Amino acid sequence: LEAHADQLDKAGAPYFCHAETVSRLVGEMINGWHQGTYEFQMKARIVGFLHDIIEDTNTTAEDLKQL
């Protein structure tokens, strides 16, 4: 959330809304395709939130590894 704090999407909405939408859609797809564990589903949703973080912010892969 902090990494995208000042960014807006193409429609002018806070970029976090896009990341949240992608996370929700990933969660829905996972539920439809793969009845994995709760942990798997949450990790997949986190990927949805982070999908643009390296290319669109100053966050590095090393930063993410430290989380």
CB 16 within 8 A of CB 4: yes
Q: Which amino acid is at 63?
A: D
Instruction: Read off the pTM.
Output: 0.72
Tens digit of pLDDT at every position of the chain (67 positions): 577 678 888 889 888 888 899 999 998 888 777 666 788 888 889 999 888 888 888 899 999 898 7
The residue extents of the domains of the chain are: 15-65
AA identity, residue 24: R
- State the DSSP string of the chain: --TTTT-B-TTSSBHHHHHHHHHHHHHHHHHHH----HHHHHHHHHHHHHTTHHHHSS--HHHHHT-
